[in-house]
Each structure stands twice: as C-alpha cells, then as structure tokens.
Amino acid sequence: MDVDVDVSISVDKEDRARPAARLLAPAVLAACLLACDGAGISSAVAVPCDLAPGDLIVTEIMARPVPADRRVEWFELFNPTPRRLDLAGVVLEAGSPSNPRKHRIPALLDPGLDPGGRLVVGNGLLDDGITGYAWPQMMLADDGATLTVRCGAAVVDRVSWGGAEPGPGRAVEGVSWQRSSRAIPSPGQSMVPDEGAPTATWCLAANDAVYDATGDRGTPGAPNRDCPLPGECRDGNAWRAAAAPSEGDLALTEVFANPAGADDPRKEWVEVLAIRDADLNGLSLVNRQGGHARSFPIESSACLAIRAGDLAVLAGSADPTANGGLPPVTHAFEAGLPLYDGLATLSLETTGGVTVATATPPPSLEGASRSLRPDPAPAPAAASIPGNWCAGTRAGVFDGLGTPGAPNDPCP
C-alpha cells in the first residue's frame, strides 16, 4: 500500500549547528510510518492538545521567497500567553480552504513554545537558518490561500491572504507579510482570532529586513515592524492620525509639465501652498485632459506636514541629479510625474473623491513653469481661471525657469 508520509522535524538554534541532528530523520520516518495516515494526520497515536482560540497566533507569512537552490517557504507562530505551550496534537492546515494540506504535530517532535516565543514553521532543511519546525510537504500559494491552526474542534487562529477576505495581500516575491507588532498582544493578553485579521494590521516587511543571501525580506523568529493603520503616518518616532485637508485648505500655485528637450517625467513637478495646516498623506494628484485622467497617489509612511503659508513641491524624483536640480522636494513619485503638456486640469483629491484643490493653468511652455499670480495672495478658487497664470521667468533656481518651493514672481 502506498503511504504519503508527512515527516516534520523541529530543532532549536543550537541543533541547527549540529550536523548530527539531521541523522534523526530515519528514526522519525519510522515513527511516522507507524503513526501517520495518508493525509499526514496521526491516527494511531493521536495526542490531545490544550489550546484555546488566540493562544497561538500566525504573525508572519513568507509564501514566495526569491527562487534559489534552497528556497524556503515559511510562516511564524507566536505565543501570547503567560505559559509555555505544548504543541503536540496541534493541527496545521495550509492551502485552499476547501482542500488544505494538513499536519498534526506529534508528541515525539513537540518543540514547545515559551511565553512571547516565536516558532518558524518551514518546508526547508534543519540547517537552513530559518526553519525551527520542519514541515517538508507544506506549500504556500501566492493568493487565495488560508493558514489555520486547530486544536481539536477549536480554531486557534486563521489567516487568509490574496483573496477577497480581509488579511494580508497577494504574496510578493522576496517579501513577507507581517502582522503589525502593535496588533500582537503581549504575553498574558490572548487574542481571539477574527477569521482573518483586517488588512490594516498587516504590512510588508521593511526594506532593511533582509534575512538571507538572496535578499529575501522578513523577520523570521524576530519581532515584526509596527505597521501603520489606515489614516496614520509616522511623525518622528511615533504614529499619529494624518491631518486630512478639507476643501480650500490647499492651493496649487505652480506647474512645470514640459522640461526642455526630451520628455522626462522625473523633471516635472507641481507646487502646493498651504492655506491651513494639513498633511498631504493619502491625497492623490489627478491630471485630467479631455476624457483622460492620470492619478498619482501621494503614498508615504512619514507624515508630509505642510504648515499654513508653506510651499511644498511634489516631483517626479527627489534626486537633484535626475530632477533638474530642484531644491528639496516634499514628496517624489516613484514612477515619475508625466503631466499633460496641453490645457489640462490638476486637482488634489482624497481617497473618498473629495476635491481639496484644483487648478487650470494655460498650456505648458517648454522649459518654463506656469505660476499662479501672487497678487493678491493666491486663493484656491483663483487657480481655476487660466488668466490668473503666467509663465515663470526666474532662472537659477533649477534647470528651467520658475520658482519651485519659493514665492511666485509677479505676473506682467
């Protein structure tokens, strides 16, 4: 009779450094041949577990590591309870909700987990530097998948990703999804799972969280980053609610849409004046011409604060060697800022579709900005009248003509 044996091995950090630990595999295999059925679930030697919902939670998922000879998919479990957990009898499920791959942790290989401890379950080898508990048959799909931790009939935790359910998004190559450290309870504060934690509590691993030679990013076995919640931005060392502007709080005062020579979206920019204090986070710069529109979301984890009377420059690049020598910019769009050259409308809009500011400057001039008449003091409504705009004439501020980040010159 053919038997599909689900062999899993656990080691601590010291064991990973001992080649002899790998020699345990034959004994483990023999034990599993006697105790495991074709689905990898122990039927002859079932060990009951003693976990309640929230006693063990999934805190990180790496479903798509960078391809390599030793590619390891993994997920991380965390113990938020004040007691050491015995994991024998815990059933792990990974895959589609209707037909997941399953594995029950046998008593022989119970790794246990101390209060506040993290266990990385991977499909790699014992000495891969990542895996703390090996489940070689595990496969994590890029999307539409679910991880479930069960204890008897109880769902201890469940996380779905990449589908319609709330939770982490589709797998990104080389980057793990992490539950925010602010959403992970301290030992003694167990969390009841919510059938897929809200997306707001998950984010991708930080750019500097590289854990292997192929450049994969994540923190297996270590604390996660503190993901921002919706509407938040980082102000210094703390997160706070972004101060969303209302209609009339901002004005668009200068536009540079046509650099001299070949088109280069890195050299295009717009200038924003704050009528009242606000943050630019969460807004989109929208450029419309005829029936076409281009939207450029202003995405930043740092608070993009602009105080009343201050000017902010939004550009296609923050690099002065690439953006035409602009002074420091408030925000740079990663893909550049390809604005329409002809008569077009610009607006700053919220995610809810509220227009905060709008402008209709005349068609752009090659190598020169279009600037809003500074006298009297620019009012948001004035920017919608093409006759209130004139050509920038000041040289020396950047490679073109205009006053990015400085008060506009009077119009003739």
Q: Looking at the structure, tell me whether residues 92 and 220 fall in a common domain.
A: yes
Q: Which of 267, 287, 263 is nearest to 359 (CA)?
A: 287
* Predicted local confidence at residue 61, as pLDDT: 97
* Predicted local confidence at residue 378, as pLDDT: 63
* Predicted local confidence at residue 226, as pLDDT: 85
Q: Would you say residue 173 lies in a domain? A: yes
Q: Would you say residue 93 lies in a domain? A: yes
Q: Looking at the structure, tell me whether residues 342 and 200 fall in a common domain.
A: no
Q: Would you say residue 359 lies in a domain? A: yes
Q: Looking at the structure, tell me whether residues 213 and 255 fall in a common domain.
A: no
Among 163, 193, 227, give the residue marking a domain's end.
227
| Pairing assessment for the beta strands 311-315 and 331-332 based on DSSP bridges | parallel
Number of domains the chain contains:
2
Q: Looking at the structure, tell me whether residues 350 and 211 fall in a common domain.
A: no
Q: Looking at the structure, tell me whether residues 83 and 188 fall in a common domain.
A: yes
Q: Looking at the structure, tell me whether residues 142 and 272 fall in a common domain.
A: no
Q: Looking at the structure, tell me whether residues 195 and 313 fall in a common domain.
A: no
Q: Would you say residue 220 lies in a domain? A: yes
Q: Looking at the structure, tell me whether residues 298 and 210 fall in a common domain.
A: no
- 3-state DSSP assignment of residue 275: coil
* Predicted local confidence at residue 191, as pLDDT: 55
Contact 356, 346 (CB under 8 A): no
Q: Looking at the structure, tell me whether residues 202 and 290 fall in a common domain.
A: no
Burial (CB < 10 A; 0-12, 13-18, 19+), residue 23, is: exposed
| Pairing assessment for the beta strands 355-359 and 370-372 based on DSSP bridges | unpaired
Q: What is the DSSP string of 351-385?
A: TT--EEEEE-PPPPBTTB-EEE--SS---GGGGG-
Q: Would you say residue 383 lies in a domain? A: yes
Proportion of the chain in helix, strand, coil states, percent, rounded to 5: 10, 30, 60
Q: Would you say residue 399 lies in a domain? A: no
Contact 231, 213 (CB under 8 A): no
- Residue 27: its H or E element: helix 25-35
Among 227, 262, 288, give the residue marking a domain's end.
227
* Predicted local confidence at residue 118, as pLDDT: 97
From first to last of its 412 residues, the chain has per-residue pLDDT tens of 333 345 455 544 444 333 333 334 444 443 443 344 334 454 445 678 999 999 999 999 999 999 866 789 999 999 999 999 999 999 999 998 888 999 999 999 999 999 999 999 999 877 788 999 999 999 999 989 999 999 999 999 999 998 766 679 899 999 999 999 888 888 866 554 444 444 468 899 988 999 999 999 999 999 999 887 778 899 998 889 999 999 999 999 999 999 999 999 999 999 999 999 999 999 999 999 999 999 999 999 899 999 999 999 999 999 999 999 999 999 999 999 999 999 999 999 998 889 999 999 999 999 999 999 997 666 678 899 999 999 999 999 999 999 999 999 999 8
Q: Looking at the structure, tell me whether residues 210 and 301 fall in a common domain.
A: no
Q: Looking at the structure, tell me whether residues 66 and 30 fall in a common domain.
A: yes
Q: Would you say residue 74 lies in a domain? A: yes
The boundaries of the domain holding residue 196 are 9-227
Q: Would you say residue 289 lies in a domain? A: yes
What's 117's domain CATH number? 2.60.40.1260
Q: Looking at the structure, tell me whether residues 61 and 191 fall in a common domain.
A: yes
